[in-house]
Structure 1
Amino acid sequence: MDYETARRFLITQASHTNQNPDAFLVRLQHNEAPIPGQVTSILLALKIVFDALQQTDRLDRELAYAIYLLATESPQLYALGQKRGVFWPPLLDRDIAQIAVAVKSIFAGEWLSF
């Protein structure tokens, strides 16, 4: 996966429109677990974006907003689903925390360990 593919993928996964019902945040919003491999692909895309951005001080607004949504809304949607009695996959909370750390790493400019 190259930077542009990773960028587009992350923007798509953060989308709240019904154009992509399998987007990560849409699935969580509908109390549906991520598609197998979806979180792994998000984490890979975040690492690729992190690596690519080491050469620049700039982050485009659309990408910044998308990764912000992934980091902030996924834990909220997870917690809301728990309150509603949704049975999430066992490690989804950890996966969501890893997404947040990866996003924080992009903004910090250094890869932070989970």
Structure 2
Amino acid sequence: MNYDTARKILLDQAIATEEHPDTLLLRMQQGKPAVPGQITSILLALKVVFEGLKEANTIDRQLAHALYLLTIKTQQLFTIGRKNGIDWPPLFKEDLLRIGTACESIFSGVWQNVN
């Protein structure tokens, strides 16, 4: 996977469009967990984007917005869902925390262990 593909995956998973109606955020808004492989793809894309931006001083606004949504909005949706009685799958919260840690790594320029 190259940087452009990874960036596109992150944008597609954070921002719902007609082309991508099954984004992580949209599924969570509907009270549904990630589809199999979705979290793995996001984490791989985050690592590739991290490597691609390691030496960069700036991050484009669209990517920063997607990273924000994948970090903060997913946590908010998880909490709201739990309060509304959604029984999220085991380890889903940990998966979302791994996504948040990877996003933080992109902003800091230092990769943190996300296992």
Q: TM-score, normalised by structure 1?
A: 0.94
Structure 2 counterpart of 1:49: 49
Question: What letter corresponds to residue 84 of structure 1 in structure 2?
Answer: N
Report if aligned partners of 2:9, 2:45 keep a CA contact under 8 Å in 1: yes
Structure 1 counterpart of 2:26: 26
Using the alignment, how far apart are the partners of 1:11 and 1:67 within structure 2?
Answer: 8
Using the alignment, how far apart are the partners of 2:87 and 2:62 within structure 1?
Answer: 32
Using the alignment, how far apart are the partners of 1:91 and 1:60 within structure 2?
Answer: 31
Q: How does 1:1-114 map to 2 (within 5 A)?
A: 1-17=1-17, 19-114=19-114
SS of the aligned residue for 2:90 comes to coil
The Cα RMSD (Å) is 1.2
Report if aligned partners of 1:17, 1:26 keep a CA contact under 8 Å in 2: no
SS of the aligned residue for 1:12 comes to helix
Using the alignment, how far apart are the partners of 2:85 and 2:19 within structure 1?
Answer: 27
Using the alignment, how far apart are the partners of 2:44 and 2:100 within structure 1?
Answer: 13
Q: TM-score, normalised by structure 2?
A: 0.93
Change over 3 Å in CA distance of 1:12–1:57 after alignment to 2? same
Structure 2: 5+ residue stretches without partners: none
Q: What percent identity do the matched residue pairs reach?
A: 46
Measured against aligned partners, the alpha-carbon deviations of 1:42-101 in whole angstroms (never above 9, x if no partner) come to 000000000011132121111111011100000100111111111111000000000000
SS of the aligned residue for 2:22 comes to coil
Report if aligned partners of 2:16, 2:22 keep a CA contact under 8 Å in 1: no
Question: What letter corresponds to residue 44 of structure 1 in structure 2?
Answer: L
Structure 1: 5+ residue stretches without partners: none
Question: What letter corresponds to residue 20 of structure 2 in structure 1?
Answer: N
Runs of 4+ in 1 over 3 A off after TM superposition: 16-19
